[in-house]
Amino acid sequence: MGTWNTRGLRGSTLEELVNRTNEQYARKKLALIQKIPTPITPVRIDKEQRHITLAYFEQRSTVDYIGAVQGIPVCFDAKECRASTFPLANIHPHQVQFMDGFEQQGGISFLLIFFSADNQFYYLRHKRLKEFWERMEGGGRKSFTRQELEEEFYLAPKEGLFIPYLDGLQRDLKLRD
């Protein structure tokens, strides 16, 4: 299994924004989404600071978030990218498999991607992720560019929501009809 050290804080700002958005959705009774903690076993602890400085992951995580939106089961992972090209290596095969199974059971899976250089949030539909993933597995590009993304799935802050991903979910559902 992998270990956690300083890399564990990557995406913490994104995670905080998603958590705040989830709290607002819950307050408005629009969605109930929970962060799934990744189980770790501490190896080294700074006793003075009471911080874990080294740990290993007990098991592979599936996705970052899971819950329900108006009776629809949803799961998603939040990823951050500094460039305009997103490496598929940022997504693990077991995560894609989990999302595939979730979709087969009638749920909705997606990725929330934060393109930090441009301060842009994007809702990546599972169907589109699978197209990029299958292209990679077939020997093609191991990444996708922002030019390949569907323009209507960029998310703009509104009504005090940091990441209004329910807007992306609504567009996703319309395309599934």
Residues comprising the binding site for Mg(2+)?
62, 64, 77, 95
Residues 6+ away with beta carbon under 8 Å from 170: none
Q: Which of 69, 75, 77, 137 is nearest to 104 (CA)?
A: 75
Binding site, annotated residues: 62, 64, 77, 95
Contact 168, 151 (CB under 8 A): no
Alpha helices in 82-163 (DSSP H): 93-104, 126-137
Q: Which H or E element spans position 112?
A: strand 108-115
